[in-house]
């Protein structure tokens, strides 16, 4: 069983990286728990693999943040910026400004905020804040519901989607076998259709690029043409044979017709 576990879960490349994103989105763990996990896999040595894997997870979170930020800008949902940002230029004098002037003024405010050392990014603010205490009554979804709107609006939308991904809790023997075992209903709360969808999605994410529109080579085209010619010859021969057999009557019938005509 240990060999099977190492085969499926012992390598960073074989794992679904969104599992690490779910750990980072837990305010009780964040990146610290992910780093601890990588150090355990590498026998406690803080080597280049640990740093590279941690950077991969962090870059994935930043990429998700950019995608959700662009979607929010397209839908008109802007990021809630803290009161630390200077409000200079946002008074009543901004009335009547053109759209270009408003954008230039917003960029100027962001530039001043960056110079002042103000973090204007949900990911940086979230990772920089202290880790929450690990209590028995801690509700992760309720924490994001309360803190997401005011503190990390874009990151809260990412947590809403990532933490909603269902995970199958089947027996360890069944997870390493595809022989069609019956899953104990008490070990899994997912329907067979949902489990099938999760397995297929995981295979699609891990698979290499597949070109659906394959361009045949010259040898393949010649082989297909030769097969078509052989099929055409066979079909023509069968058609000629059937036509000849239909035109000439059997010998027995021909002899009977001749004798009857002579008698008449």
Task: Dump pLDDT digits (tens) for 170-179.
Answer: 655 665 566 6
Query: Which residues, other chains included, contact 15 with Cβ-Cβ below 8 Å and sequence gap of 6+?
Result: 9
* 61 touches 164 (CB < 8 A): no
Instruction: Output the pLDDT for position 142.
Output: 87
Could you give the angle at which helices 140-147 and 153-162 cross, rounded to 10 degrees?
A: 150
Query: Which residues, other chains included, contact 7 with Cβ-Cβ below 8 Å and sequence gap of 6+?
Result: none
pLDDT digits (tens, 9 = 90+) for 108-157: 765 665 555 455 678 888 888 888 887 778 888 888 888 877 788 889 89
Instruction: Output the pLDDT for position 176.
Output: 59
Instruction: Output the pLDDT for position 62.
Output: 92
Higher-confidence position of 115 and 37? 37
Output the CA–CA distances (angstroms, integers) from residue 199 to 135, 162, 165, in the order listed: 33, 17, 13
Give the confidence band of 203 by pLDDT, cuts at 50, 70, 90. Answer: confident
Query: Could you give the CA distance from residue 131 to residue 145 in angstroms, rounded to a whole number?
Result: 17
Q: Has residue 12 got a pLDDT over 60?
A: yes
Sign (positive or negative) of CA dihedral 206, 57, 113, 77: positive
């Amino acid at each position: 069983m240990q060999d099977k576990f190492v085969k499926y879960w012992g390598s960073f490349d074989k794992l679904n990286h969104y599992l690490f994103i779910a750990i980072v989105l837990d305010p009780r763990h964040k990146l610290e728990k992910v780093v601890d996990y990588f150090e355990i896999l590498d026998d406690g040595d803080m080597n280049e693999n640990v740093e590279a894997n941690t950077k991969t997870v962090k870059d994935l979170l930043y990429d998700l943040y950019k995608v959700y930020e662009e979607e929010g800008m397209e839908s008109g949902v802007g990021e809630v910026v803290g009161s630390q940002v200077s409000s200079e230029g946002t008074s009543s004098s901004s009335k009547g400004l053109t759209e270009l002037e408003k954008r230039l003024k917003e960029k100027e405010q962001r530039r001043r905020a960056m110079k002042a050392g103000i973090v204007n990014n949900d990911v940086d603010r979230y990772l920089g804040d202290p880790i929450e205490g690990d209590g028995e009554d801690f509700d992760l979804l309720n924490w994001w519901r309360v803190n997401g709107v005011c503190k990390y609006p874009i990151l809260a939308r990412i947590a809403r989607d990532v933490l909603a991904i269902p995970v199958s809790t089947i027996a360890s023997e069944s997870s390493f076998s595809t022989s069609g075992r019956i899953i104990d209903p008490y070990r899994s709360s997912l329907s067979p259709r949902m489990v099938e969808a999760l397995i297929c999605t995981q295979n699609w994410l891990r698979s290499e690029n597949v070109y659906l529109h394959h361009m045949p080579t010259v040898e393949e085209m010649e082989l297909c043409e030769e097969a078509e010619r052989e099929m055409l010859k066979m079909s023509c021969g069968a058609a000629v044979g059937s036509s000849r057999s239909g035109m000439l009557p059997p010998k027995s019938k021909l002899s009977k017709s001749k004798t009857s005509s002579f008698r008449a």
